[in-house]
Structure 1
Amino acid sequence: MSSPSIEQLEQMVADLLAEAGKLGASAADAAVSSSSGLSLTVRMGETETIEHTRDQGLGISVYFGQRKGTASTTDLKPAALREAVSKACTIARNTSEDDCAGLADPEYLATDYPDLDLYHPWAISPDEAAAVALQAEQAARDVDPRISNSEGATLSTQSGSFIYGNSHGFVGGYPTSRHTLSCVVLSQDGDCMQRDYWYDSRRDWRQLAAPENIGRKAAERVLAKLHARQLGTCQAPVIFRADIAPGMLRSLTGAIRGHAQYRQSSFLLDSLGEQIFPEWVDIREDPLIPLGLASAPFDNEGVATYAKHLVRDGRLETYILDSYSARKLGMKTTGNAGGVRNLSIGSGDMGLDDMLKEMDTGLLVTELMGQGLNPVTGDYSRGAAGFWVENGAIQYPVEEITIAGNMKDMFRQLVAVGNDNDIPGSVKTGSWWIENMTIAGC
């Protein structure tokens, strides 16, 4: 069975909104999506799994004044859609009023938005997908005889469509695609065994990194971890390598979300306009980047998205707000219902090797374990692994250590961001050099 067309999805949304009106709702909005794809994994030179995926879903919110009810379904048949609307209405009628509930204000809705070139379907057969994945895995295994085993290489490709509409008259949608190739391998030397990976993900499959490059990088990463040591407790500078540095930016966005602010559950509570980073730091969101993995012309409420500074000259310029959190804070939505899209931080002119030389002695973190951030106090403690650096060069790998600090202090002690920001994903950052943290053996 073929996936519904955009026109069919638009009609579903229109029917839902009409049904909500018939049942007495004063306002409503609905979103529907449908996607299909292929995921194939090879392991040790053989095809291990082939999965054809087909996903669809719909969510509707209705309002009776300022009482809200929501319902969702994965069944897009007309009877199931009507039942979802009926359930949402029943919930709304039995819910307390909320002064901040309601659709986005009409003046903020997208009216004329650009085509962001997000749809590049890949008509690849399972045999062709297996050939690509096998190239990645074989390239990794060919690097060194110590690559002793593999968890496989996986190629996944997915295409679909998304439609959102509300009773203000907004209906909008667009098709999207995403293609990912990854490789996970294990290395062994004597009693020492390590695991690592690499990947790439793109809207346009033609832009994926060569499978041989992905395999070789996975192999190089896992070989470098062999014969890791522990460290004694110390205070030292720490560099978070570029591929894990996005977690630092996500800690920032979590703290400046409107919902964290009005609930008073943020270590950056009431920090708007304050200096939270050194003056040289600029952090931006740009949802309108063509081909961007997180690009969207409007947010989950139909509000037009736009490029903006979150931090300029080290100062916090805005919170991240949907309509509800904006009303709770007496502010305006920032077009961020559904999250932050295409986050980036400005970098200097140093690559990672330059940063290591400048740091001279300290820790390069390449892996983090656990969820060790207290969102209210900012206290940070994570299991980690990486490399010990002396005389400006990597000396040996380390593991079973803990790094600790406070996120507010870590932001203020950011010494540099590297220009090694060619990492996959929707968050663009180079490596982060933090002036001082506590490092402890486990």
Structure 2
Amino acid sequence: MASHQTSSPASSGNSTRIDSQLPALKAAVSEALEYAKQLGTSAAEVAISKQQGLSVSTRDKEVETVEFTKDGALGITVYRDGAKGNSSTSDLSSQAIKQAVKAADDIAKYTSQDPFSGLADPELMAKDIRKLELYHPHDIDAQGLAQLAIDSEIAALDVSERIKASDGASANAHTGAKVYGNSHGFLGGYCSSRYSLSCVVIGEELDGNMQRDYDYTVSRQFNGLLSPEAVGIKSAQKTLNRLDARKIATTKLPVLFSPEIATGLIGHFIGAISGSSLYRKSSFLLDSLGTQVFPEWFNIQEQPHLLSGLASANFDSEGVATQQRNIIEDGRLATYLLTSYSARKLGMTNTGHAGGIYNWTLKDSGQTFAELIKAMGTGLIVTEVMGQGVNAVTGDYSRGAAGFYVENGEIQYPVEEITIAGNLKDMFMGVQAVASDRDLRSSIRTGGILLNEMQIAGN
């Protein structure tokens, strides 16, 4: 039975397209900035984020929930003599905007001065606004999304008798608009779209215990999604591969992170070179700029202007122009990730990373994931990690894991209930290879990553 969580129309086609609202959103930002100026503030910045779309979830080939989303808010930050005040409103009427600006200004009058706060420098504002093709509206209703989810479940359940049930599928279609402006005179905005489909299924082991796994597809374009049959079949295959797992003896082995887990490994690197971690001295990569942190052949490039990229943008959340740049060049750390605040705290230059990273692509070493398995000989493929055992200050890494034991370059059996441990500095320097078949479903575009050795705790 469908559980309708809102009385709004359950069709993306019944709502006003988000791009038609962009001029009004820009006007609201301009109005807020003008009123902040009238109040005599030193500086101000305003951002609006608005989203609308549909999400449908199914279970056992029946619709479970239908959710229509339509929300957004305006956030205002004003600066007065080195002090800062924030306020927000979801009401974009002139009266509500003025009340929000006034509230932010009142707060600024009573907060402490911070010499490092303020707008990003005016010369860093984005001027070359490219068409990045982030917005691809597609008219699909709840029934259409439900059919995608159900079709993925049907395909998964047909793969094997050992696939016993669906643990749910979800299909989503969302569009959004972002507008940012500040008292430097910068005003920019853009629309974007995102579609996704996922499926989770449950398989039965020989002893009657159950295992689950999933697969998903995501794209800026609806037609860029994999078919529901492909998603369902892949989720079933991944679940079957996990069945009848066992432990292995405690040892040291090469470890091959699957692409999905490799993105998390690089995520720890992102945290370590982010400005907030650096000025708080809570990073294991303090004072590492220009030093060797990966092998000499290893490179990471940031590409913020990829057409239809999942993490593409012309400017960050402070209006600073994004730039194509090397993050790691020949194994050396080429840049930190800095906002205006962290750059001032560190006495460095803003890199335009307020709001995150932009399409990182890891250079591969020429082998596919399958070829890396053969090259590894004996080792461990990690397809899942659990727990929060990562110390951002020391780099110590210890997490529960599951995956596959490899011998003579061939997968022997699935493994579970093990712990993998090391230190992130050693793990980064111990990268042996990056697979050429990249996973493009996130802001980190990488294949599997092979490490020379990690400590494995098992039986």
Deviation at 1:232, TM superposition (A): 2.1
The residue aligned with 1:43 is 59
Pick aligned residue for 1:79 from 95, 101, 111: 95
Pick aligned residue for 1:57 from 59, 70, 73: 73
The 5 Å alignment of 1:235-314 reads 235-314=252-331
The residue aligned with 1:189 is 205
Does 2:400 align with 1:383?
A: yes
Alpha-carbon distance between aligned partners in 2 of 1:341 and 1:74, rounded to the nearest angstrom = 28
Per mean C-alpha deviation after superposition, the further-off stretch among 424-433 and 400-409 is 424-433
Does 2:166 align with 1:150?
A: yes
Per-residue CA shift, 1:290-341, capped at 9, x if unaligned? 1001111101010111110010000000000111111111111111111111
Q: Is the 8 A contact 1:227 1:397 kept in 2?
A: yes
Q: Is the 8 A contact 1:185 1:196 kept in 2?
A: yes
Q: Is the 8 A contact 1:56 1:74 kept in 2?
A: yes
The residue aligned with 2:366 is 349
Return the TM-score normalized by structure 2.
Answer: 0.94
Per-residue CA shift, 1:221-280, capped at 9, x if unaligned? 000000110122111111101121001111111101111111111100010000000000
Alpha-carbon distance between aligned partners in 1 of 2:456 and 2:439, rounded to the nearest angstrom = 28
Deviation at 1:46, TM superposition (A): 1.3
Pick aligned residue for 1:111 from 115, 120, 127: 127
Alpha-carbon distance between aligned partners in 2 of 1:187 and 1:80, rounded to the nearest angstrom = 53
SS of 2:261's partner is coil
SS of 2:27's partner is helix
The residue aligned with 1:11 is 27
Q: Is the 8 A contact 2:171 2:198 kept in 1?
A: yes
Alpha-carbon distance between aligned partners in 2 of 1:75 and 1:410, rounded to the nearest angstrom = 49
Q: What is the identity, as a one-letter code, of the residue corresponding to 2:427?
A: M
Q: Is the 8 A contact 2:282 2:393 kept in 1?
A: yes
Alpha-carbon distance between aligned partners in 2 of 1:223 and 1:117, rounded to the nearest angstrom = 38
Q: Is the 8 A contact 1:242 1:423 kept in 2?
A: no
Alpha-carbon distance between aligned partners in 2 of 1:349 and 1:11, rounded to the nearest angstrom = 50
Q: Is the 8 A contact 1:285 1:344 kept in 2?
A: yes
SS of 2:178's partner is strand
Deviation at 1:87, TM superposition (A): 2.1
Alpha-carbon distance between aligned partners in 2 of 1:325 and 1:132, rounded to the nearest angstrom = 44
Pick aligned residue for 2:40 from 24, 36, 61: 24
Deviation at 1:423, TM superposition (A): 4.2
SS of 1:324's partner is helix
The residue aligned with 1:222 is 239
Alpha-carbon distance between aligned partners in 2 of 1:216 and 1:351, rounded to the nearest angstrom = 22
Deviation at 1:74, TM superposition (A): 2.8
Deviation at 1:81, TM superposition (A): 2.3
Alpha-carbon distance between aligned partners in 1 of 2:250 and 2:100, rounded to the nearest angstrom = 57
Does 2:117 align with 1:101?
A: yes
In structure 1, the gaps of 5 or more residues are none
Per-residue CA shift, 1:350-387, capped at 9, x if unaligned? 11221111111111000011122111100001111001
The residue aligned with 1:365 is 382
Does 2:340 align with 1:337?
A: no
Q: Is the 8 A contact 1:163 1:172 kept in 2?
A: yes
The residue aligned with 2:342 is 325
Q: What is the identity, as a one-letter code, of the residue corresponding to 1:260?
A: S
Alpha-carbon distance between aligned partners in 2 of 1:423 and 1:189, rounded to the nearest angstrom = 32
Q: What is the identity, as a one-letter code, of the residue corresponding to 2:59?
A: R
Alpha-carbon distance between aligned partners in 1 of 2:324 and 2:266, rounded to the nearest angstrom = 17
Alpha-carbon distance between aligned partners in 1 of 2:440 and 2:310, rounded to the nearest angstrom = 12
The residue aligned with 2:419 is 402
Specify whether residues 414 and 389 from structure 1 end up closer, same or farther in structure 2 by C-alpha distance, changes over 3 A only: same
In structure 2, the gaps of 5 or more residues are 1-14
The residue aligned with 2:147 is 131
Q: What is the identity, as a one-letter code, of the residue corresponding to 2:351?
A: T
Deviation at 1:422, TM superposition (A): 3.5
Q: What is the identity, as a one-letter code, of the residue corresponding to 1:252?
A: F
Deviation at 1:79, TM superposition (A): 3.2
The residue aligned with 1:392 is 409
Alpha-carbon distance between aligned partners in 2 of 1:128 and 1:336, rounded to the nearest angstrom = 37
Number of aligned residues: 442
Alpha-carbon distance between aligned partners in 2 of 1:214 and 1:365, rounded to the nearest angstrom = 21
SS of 2:40's partner is coil
SS of 2:237's partner is helix
Deviation at 1:157, TM superposition (A): 0.5
SS of 1:143's partner is coil
Pick aligned residue for 1:418 from 435, 453, 458: 435
